[in-house]
Amino acid sequence: MHVLTGGSVADVDGTRAADVAVADGEIVAVGDAAVTEAAGSVAESDDADVTRVDVSGKVVAPGLIDAHVHLMMDARPDVATAAAESDYTASFRAARNLRVAAEAGVVAVRDLGSRGTLALDAGELVADGTLTGPHVVACGRNVIMTGGHGNWFGREADGRAEVRKAAREQLKDGADVLKCMATGGVLTEGAVTGAPELTPDELEAFTDAAAPTDTPTAAHAHGDAGIENAVRAGITSIEHGTFMSRETAELMAEEGTYWVPTASALHGIVDNGVEAGIPEDAVRKAEDAVDAFANAWEHALDAGVTIAMGTDAGTPFNAFEDVAGELAYMVEYGMSPAEVLEAATVNAADLLDLDDVGRVAEGYRADLVVLDADPNDDADAWADPTSVYLGGEHVV
Ligand SMILES: [Zn+2]
């Protein structure tokens, strides 16, 4: 049992002075000294040690939840060159990414596409304590049309029957979420960024395959037609959403579709460019998307679309340790620091179907960060946590 004492607590319920008592990986009390003392005396009667950690002047917040990562990728300029690496190498990269993500204050990630069962297996090894890292929610392989975006590691499928089978294969492998490509992408040579890929009919077969088990679904979608196709098919979250029109944003708000903007992915490419080794095709496509992406934010914020934080970590110059950069972008695009906190904690937790992370409250997992400033006032507070706890264990 330990008690973080003398500081403040910040989560979606606001910022207030409070101590936090943690035992057996869980938050057991949040409140003034008397409350956590009482929790402490219960633990003491079981002969447990009570460690006091002085966090005076600091803020205890829930750890971040990153709703879009690729555990096997390493932020290299040209992702396609990773195709030549072995599965073993990709797995070691995942182990490294998990550790640095945890050190940066990330307590849960959603892997939206890795080779085979790499991310699903990584999640099992985190759960059994073999690997240090955030809780992993994973999709297995991406379901894509033949020759579509990400075809070097996706599961290609065409037509209702094949798409259904491809989706069911991921469920059989233990996928927590299903991911498909509703449009082309920036990082696949030749794929047109905004052009629809899986058809409305195929997208419907895809969500239909997820329905019996209530498995959430995610669609990579840049172009507006592809976003609309995915929303109408009942997809749970739109990833990127670069060319989202006002009408589509309103449709998403109406349908309750989440948006995971992944600003870091676009900025990683545009801010570094060809001179940093990113393929010209990708840089050109990203540059063409910058203005549309700013408009998409305006449309989404005006319409009240629910936003969940996601980085697309692993894509060029978008490293797992730089997660806080995404929160800074979210403020630049018009969200308040408190809204960003909500998007990176409770909204992302809801999207990932996790009910025990995202708040500093009794009964929640002790997945906590200790910060120097109040993240409800200043999103930069996330940049350099003084300490990170995963299941009550001190990571840094
Ligand atoms: Zn991605």
| Percentage above 90 pLDDT, the chain | 90
Amino acid letter for position 144: I
Cα(63) to ligand 1 centroid in Å equals 21
> Token pair 């030749």 is at which residue?
190
Mean pLDDT of 181-189: 88
In this prediction, residue 111 carries a pLDDT of 98
Cα 332 to Cα 106, 255, 328, 336: the distances in Å are 21, 26, 6, 9
CB-proximal residues (5 Å) to ion ligand 1: 312
CA–centroid distance, 73 to ligand 1, in Å, is 10
β partners of residue 259: 238, 307
Distance 315 CA to ligand 1 centre (A): 7
d(C-alpha 208, C-alpha 198), whole Å:
14
What is residue 139's predicted lDDT score, i.e. its pLDDT?
98
What's the 143 CA to ligand 1 centre distance in angstroms?
A: 13
**Rounded to two decimals, what is the model's pTM?**
0.96
Query: What does 322-337 look like in DSSP terms, one character per residue?
Result: GHHHHHHHHHHTT--H
pLDDT for residue 343: 98
Separation of CA 320 and ligand 1 centre (Å): 13
pLDDT at position 37, please?
73
Specify the pLDDT at position 41.
67
Report how far ligand 1's centroid is from the alpha carbon of 311 (Å). 8
The model's pLDDT over 334-348, given as tens digits with 9 standing for 90+, comes to 999 999 999 999 999
pLDDT digits (tens, 9 = 90+) for 14-34: 999 999 999 999 999 999 876
Cα(70)–Cα(122) distance, integer angstroms: 12
In this predicted structure, the answer to whether residue 266 has a pLDDT above a threshold of 70 is yes
Ligand 1 centre to CA of 74 (Å) is 12
pLDDT the model gives residue 190: 72
**Alpha helices, DSSP H, located in 242-378:** 246-255, 263-270, 280-303, 323-332, 337-342, 348-351
Question: If you measure from the C-alpha of residue 308 to the centroid of ligand 1, how many angstroms do you get, rounded to a whole number?
Answer: 14
Q: How far is the CA of 68 from the centre of ligand 1 (A)?
A: 6
pLDDT band at 192 (very low <50, low <70, confident <90, very high): confident
How much distance in Å is there from the Cα of 14 to the middle of ligand 1?
Answer: 31
The answer, yes or no, to whether residue 40 has pLDDT greater than 70, is: no
pLDDT value at 48 more than 90: no
Distance 7 CA to ligand 1 centre (A): 37
Q: Rounded to whole angstroms, how far apart are CA atoms 185 and 182?
A: 9
Ligand 1 centroid, distance to 383 Cα (angstroms): 22
From residue 244, alpha-carbon distances to 221, 232, 287 in Å are: 9, 14, 16
pLDDT at 295 over 90: yes
pLDDT band at 44 (very low <50, low <70, confident <90, very high): low
Give residue 70 CA to ligand 1 midpoint distance, Å: 6
Would you say residue 377 has pLDDT above 80?
yes
- Looking at residues 255-282, what average pLDDT do you find? 96
